[in-house]
Amino acid sequence: MLDGFKKFILRGNVVDMAVGVVIGAAFAGVVSGLTSAFLTPLIKLATGGGEKFSSLQFMVHGVAFPLDNFINACISFVLIAAVVYFFVVVPVNALVARMHRADKPADPTTKKCPECLSEIPIQARRCSHCAQPVTVMAA
């Protein structure tokens, strides 16, 4: 039982996925730090002062809902999504397209009978279903 578990864990896909999750979490921390250390002060400058952005909130039944952390989280999400898209998804799609571009479709081995529309071999002179003469296609 443990041997099967060991084979599963040491499979390339599982290890690659675990590494990706760890690196993704570390990257999310870096982007969150960038957002709170650099982008939030820039937003504060753009809104005209430090306290305006920090005090941005709305009240419901006397409970304050601050919006500054939510805006920081939204900015972090957009930055992480952009990085993942432009540095992971686009290159992988280009690589897959390049790999499949070399594959050309196999030559057809059958054709349709013009009379009964059944599939017959390319070199057939007569349809095996309706016995209608058909033209032989050049090879």
Helices (H), the chain: 2-9, 12-34, 40-46, 50-54, 68-84, 90-101
Q: Among the CATH numbers 3.40.50.1170, 3.90.1530.10, 3.40.50.720, 1.10.1200.120, which is that of 2-101?
A: 1.10.1200.120
pLDDT per position as a tens digit, 57-81: 788 888 888 777 788 788 888 888 8
Task: Give yes or no for residue 50 having a pLDDT over 70.
Answer: no
Higher per-residue pLDDT: 23 or 69? 23
Contact 67, 59 (CB under 8 A): no
From residue 52, alpha-carbon distances to 26, 48, 59 in Å are 31, 7, 16
53: exposed, middle or buried (Cβ count in 10 Å: 0-12, 13-18, 19+): buried
Residue 134 CA to residue 122 CA, distance in Å, equals 10
